[in-house]
């Protein structure tokens, strides 16, 4: 059972400003049913350009609902520039704190606010800017979003990043990349905490290479696929070509061009040899394998 | 506020009769059943009696009962013990909807060179027995498939599966923690080799379980040490727990009919009324083959944790397959394996009853449910969108 503060329970049980506004000036929608929480925020401005009214609708757990409710309270009466200063930390603090694993609910509030303001200011309502790169394909989180939660909340571990923006909470394939982003943002401060360098041999015999590939798949790849109900089998190694087969359910990826093959290849290059490339074994496609878009 | 406990697949109340039987074995009759003196010996007799009660419930021989510390230990012992006994075979078959006590162990085996096949289920949570048949081969050491699913209550055709598997000379294990005490089992007429059960799911205390080992089943001991449990599970017996489990099995046998008539009736009523009064709700799992005490209902467009917290306000205890309650970010692996859409998986609620539940409790819940659901739907951004 989660330990929620009285404030959280109050805003969950008696949420303020639920509903929709007719002819709103700005609308922001973030999250999705698949992600497990979603927030639709609307606001209307008065003549001085202050937020006269704000309303929300939220699909999600108690902390998602409470965070949304508090957000509307926090931004009312503010100009848009003032409202832009509201961060997820403000929301969490107002609630007297949220469980670590629920911090992403407060971040969702902040993101909805930004989306609504962007909507009012006429920028395209694309959730991700073009130059942003999706790092976590399971939850569709970009490098910019990850950088920001790290910076604004002073995060130092992958687990924290997952708690704050969900990135890395699905298949786990992006953990290495999140670590790199943490390192880039936090610099030397976290260098000592990062994992020891991968055990990459200099010159491997064929047998050693195959064993290392198998070991890397066992330790680095399979657990991630397993988290999504999938699996992987090493079929063969021909020179630098690694042939694998995917089994079971495949991840319900948000990004269609993303393939699990790339994740496997990246892992093998990191831990075994830069020259490796991965091919999917077409002959052994699992008959029960259905790709759900 | 009165507690209305509808979470009996998680754990159950220790029956009064069970508690009464257990008490002397903490402070008065504390002897070691292995001792030579009368003081310990009388405890040994009581353990024997408990073993007989368990055997009677399962319709097996008392010598086939091995007491363990929990269902998880029984599962681990069954899997590792079987594989150790047939080291030349390297394949294990299980299902995608197993309890983590089986699934996590099987997945770990993959890292040790085993091939693990996880059979899928259809949208009602049913296995495809032809798929199982296709997978059985000479390399298969073990098939482990649960008897009834803890989340949906769906019962697999375990007797048929046991027949298929063992006729090929392969060991068959079933995690039966959810079904023992709720439905009659007859292991004398069955081909099951190994079966796990857990005390606290049938009104015995936590900390005691059983692994049934059919005579002639090859299994290597898991916990080594003294000669307890015929050398199959060393360690001084959890006497109060074992005595309690014996009594609980005796009670379960006597009340089996109640479970299948009155409790089933309460469950059916709860389910029917909720489906009727709450729009966009549906049952997860095969209602034709299901435990009498379990219902798993999905409420579209809302999230399970929020439902649980509102139920909790009325003292109603249930559980959910939503991501938020699991502590992970993804909903239940069972519902996902069934292909339940995310819209419904996040809003799934499991009610699991016991013989201690009453008609008033069911009626109270039926009364409160529609207001809880509509209250959360008013908050949901997806409700209007769906109506358009």
CB-CB under 8 Å, B336 with A249: yes
Does the structure show a pLDDT above 50 at A251? no
Window 309-348 of B: residues touching A by CB (8 A cutoff) are 309-310, 313, 322-324, 327-331, 333, 336-337, 339, 342-343, 346
In chain B, what percentage of residues exceed pLDDT 70? 97
Q: What is the mean pLDDT of chain A?
A: 82
CATH class of A206-284: alpha beta
Pick from A185-189, B232-236, B313-317: least confident = A185-189
**pLDDT of B375 higher than 60:** yes
Bridge pairing between strands A277-280 and A241-248:
parallel
Q: B293 vs chain A: nearest CA distance in angstroms?
A: 24
DSSP code string of B205-237: PTT-EEEEE-TT-----SS-SSSGGGGTS-S--
Q: Do A61 and B302 touch (CB under 8 A)?
A: no
A252-264 in b/e form (b: 16+ CB < 10 A) is bbbeeeebbeebb
Residue extents of the structural domains in chain A: 6-121, 134-191, 206-284
For chains A and B, count residue pairs whose Cβ atoms are closer than 8 Å. Answer: 99
Residues from A in contact with B at Cβ < 8 Å: 2, 9, 12-13, 15, 18, 20, 29, 33-40, 57-62, 64-65, 101-102, 139, 162, 166, 169-170, 218-219, 222-223, 226-229, 231, 248-249, 252, 288, 292
For the ranges A157-161, A286-290, B110-114, B287-291, the lowest mean pLDDT is seen at: A286-290
Find the range with the poorest average confidence among A159-168, B60-69, B116-125, B297-306. A159-168
Is residue A200 predicted with pLDDT exceeding 80? no
List chain A residues with CB under 8 Å of B309. Answer: 9, 12, 62
Residues near B150 by beta carbon (within 8 Å), at least 6 away in sequence: B9, B99, B177, B178
Q: Are B200 and B191 in contact (CB under 8 A)?
A: no
* Ranges A225-229, B101-105, B178-182: which has the least confidence: A225-229
Task: Say if residue B46 is exposed, middle or buried (CB neighbours under 10 Å; 0-12, 13-18, 19+).
Answer: buried
**What tens digit of pLDDT does each residue of A68-81 get?**
999 999 999 999 99
Measured from the Cβ of residue A46, the count of other Cβ atoms closer than 10 Å reads 11
Phi, psi (5° rounding) for residue A17?
Answer: 60, 45
C-beta atoms of A12 and B309 within 8 A? yes
Whether residue A227 has pLDDT greater than 80: no
pLDDT at A289 over 50: no
Which position has the higher pLDDT, B327 or A268? Answer: A268
Average of per-residue pLDDT across B306-322:
94
Query: What confidence tier does B384 reach under pLDDT thresholds 50, 70, 90?
Result: low
Q: What pLDDT does residue A293 have?
A: 36
Q: Is the ipTM value over 0.95, yes or no? A: no
Percent of chain A with pLDDT over 70: 83
Percent helix, strand, coil in chain B (nearest 5)?
Answer: 45, 15, 40
Residue A32 has pLDDT above 90, yes or no: no
Does the beta-carbon distance from B118 to A38 stay under 8 Å? Answer: no
- CATH class of the domain comprising B16-254: alpha beta
Is B316's pLDDT higher than 80?
yes
> Among B116, B118, B379, whose Cβ lies nearest the Cβ of A58?
B379
Tell me if residue A199 falls in helix, strand or coil.
Answer: coil
Give the B window 91-120 contacts with A, CB below 8 Å.
Answer: 96, 107, 110-111, 116, 118, 120
Q: Residues B154-211: pLDDT tens digits?
A: 999 999 999 999 999 999 999 999 999 999 999 999 999 999 999 999 999 999 999 9
One-character DSSP codes across B149-188: -TTT-BBP-HHHHHHHHHTTT-EEEEE-TTTBTTB---GG
Domain spans in chain B, listed from the N-terminal domain onward: 16-254, 256-381
Winning range, highest mean pLDDT, from A228-232, A236-240, B277-281: B277-281
Q: A105 or A134: which carries more pLDDT confidence?
A: A105
Catalytic residues of A: 35, 105
pTM of structure: 0.82
Does the domain made of A6-121 have the CATH classification 3.90.1010.10?
Answer: yes
pLDDT (0 to 100) of residue A201: 53
- Any idea what the Cα angle at residue B65 is, between residues B141 and B8, rounded to 5°? 90
- A167 has pLDDT over 80: yes
For chain A, give the percent of residues with pLDDT over 90: 35
> How many angstroms separate the CA of residue A142 from the nearest CA in chain B?
17
Report chain B's mean pLDDT, rounded to a whole number: 94
Which pLDDT belongs to residue B197?
98
Q: Among A2, A20, A59, pick the best mutation site for testing chain B contact (most B Cβ within 10 A).
A: A59
Residue predicted with more confidence, B344 or B116: B116
- Compute the average pLDDT of residues B105-129: 94
The whole-number pLDDT of residue A20 equals 93
3-state secondary structure of A86: coil
B360 touches A: beta carbon within 8 Å: no
Is some CB atom of chain A closer than 8 A to the CB atom of B301? yes
**Count of helix runs (H) and strand runs (E) in chain B:** 16, 13
CATH of domain B256-381: 3.90.1150.10
The strands making up A277-280's β-sheet, listed across from edge to edge, are A230-238, A241-248, A277-280
Q: What pLDDT sits at residue A252? A: 41
Position A259 confidence tier, pLDDT thresholds 50, 70, 90: low
Chain B, nearest residue to A215 by Cα: B111
* Residue B66 pLDDT greater than 90, yes or no: yes
How far B303 CA sits from the closest chain A CA (Å)? 5
Q: Is B45 on the interface with A (CB under 8 A)?
A: no
Reply yes or no on domain A134-191 having CATH 1.10.10.1100: yes
Q: What is the spatial distance between Cα B112 and Cα A274, in angstroms, rounded to a whole number?
A: 26
Q: Is residue B106 among the annotated active site residues?
A: no
């Amino acid at each position: 059972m989660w330990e929620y503060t009285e404030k959280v329970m109050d805003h969950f049980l008696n949420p303020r400003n639920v509903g929709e506004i007719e002819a709103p000036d700005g609308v922001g929608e973030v999250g999705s049913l698949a992600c497990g929480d979603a927030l639709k925020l609307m606001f209307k401005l008065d003549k001085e350009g202050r937020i006269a009214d704000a309303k929300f609708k939220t699909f999600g757990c108690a902390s998602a609902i409470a965070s949304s409710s508090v957000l509307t309270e926090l931004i009312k009466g503010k100009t848009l520039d003032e409202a832009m200063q509201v961060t997820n930390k403000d929301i969490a603090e107002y609630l007297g704190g949220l469980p670590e694993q629920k911090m992403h609910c407060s971040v969702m509030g902040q993101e909805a606010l930004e989306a609504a303001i962007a909507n009012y200011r006429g920028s395209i309502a694309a959730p991700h800017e073009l130059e942003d790169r999706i790092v976590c394909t399971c939850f569709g989180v970009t490098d910019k979003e990850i950088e920001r939660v790290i910076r604004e909340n002073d995060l130092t571990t992958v687990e924290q990043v997952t708690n704050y923006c969900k990135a890395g909470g699905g298949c786990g394939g992006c953990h290495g990349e999140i670590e790199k982003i943490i390192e880039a943002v936090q610099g030397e401060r976290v260098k000592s905490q990062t994992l020891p360098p991968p055990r990459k041999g200099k010159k491997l015999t064929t047998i050693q290479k195959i064993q290392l590939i198998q070991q890397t798949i066992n330790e680095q790849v399979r657990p991630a696929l397993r988290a999504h109900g999938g699996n992987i089998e090493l079929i063969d190694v021909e020179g630098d070509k690694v042939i694998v087969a995917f089994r079971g359910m495949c991840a319900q990826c948000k990004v269609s061009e993303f393939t699990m093959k790339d994740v496997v290849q990246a892992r093998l290059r990191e831990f075994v040899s830069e020259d490796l490339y991965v091919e999917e074994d077409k002959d052994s496609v699992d008959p029960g394998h259905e790709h759900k878009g | 506020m009165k507690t209305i406990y509808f979470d009996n697949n998680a754990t159950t109340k220790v029956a009064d009769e069970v508690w009464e039987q257990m008490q002397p074995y903490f402070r008065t009759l504390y002897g070691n059943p292995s001792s030579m003196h009368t003081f310990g010996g009388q405890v040994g007799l009581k353990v024997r009696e408990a073993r007989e009660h368990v055997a009677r419930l399962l319709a097996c021989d008392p010598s086939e009962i091995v007491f363990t510390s929990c269902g998880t230990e029984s599962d681990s012992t069954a899997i590792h013990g079987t594989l150790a006994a047939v080291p030349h075979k390297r394949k294990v078959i299980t299902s995608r909807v197993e309890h983590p006590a089986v699934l996590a162990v099987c997945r770990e085996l993959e890292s040790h060179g085993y091939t693990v096949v996880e059979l899928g289920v259809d949208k009602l949570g049913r296995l495809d027995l032809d798929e199982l048949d296709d997978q059985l081969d000479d390399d298969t050491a073990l098939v482990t498939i649960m008897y009834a699913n803890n989340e949906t209550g769906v019962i697999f055709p375990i007797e048929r599966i046991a027949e298929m598997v063992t006729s090929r000379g392969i060991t068959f294990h079933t995690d039966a923690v959810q079904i023992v005490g709720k439905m009659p089992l007859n292991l004398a007429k069955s081909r099951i080799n190994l079966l796990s059960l857990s005390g606290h799911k049938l009104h015995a205390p936590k900390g005691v379980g059983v692994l049934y080992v059919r005579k002639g089943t090859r299994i290597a001991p898991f916990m080594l040490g003294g000669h307890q449990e015929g050398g199959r599970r060393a360690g001084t017996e959890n006497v109060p727990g074992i005595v309690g489990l014996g009594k609980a099995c005796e009670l379960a046998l006597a009340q089996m009919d109640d479970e299948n008539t009155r409790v089933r009736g309460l469950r059916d009523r709860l389910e029917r009324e909720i489906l009727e009064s709450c729009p966009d709700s549906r049952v997860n799992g095969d209602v034709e083959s299901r435990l009498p005490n379990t219902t798993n209902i999905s409420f579209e467009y809302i999230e399970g944790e929020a439902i649980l917290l509102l139920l909790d306000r009325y003292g109603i205890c249930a559980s959910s397959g939503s991501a938020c309650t699991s502590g992970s970010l993804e909903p239940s692996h069972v519902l996902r394996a069934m292909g339940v859409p995310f819209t419904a998986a996040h809003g799934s609620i499991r009610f699991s009853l016991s013989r201690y539940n009453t008609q008033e409790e069911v009626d109270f819940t039926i009364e409160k449910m529609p207001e809880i659901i509509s209250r959360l739907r008013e908050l949901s951004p997806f409700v209007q969108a769906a109506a358009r």
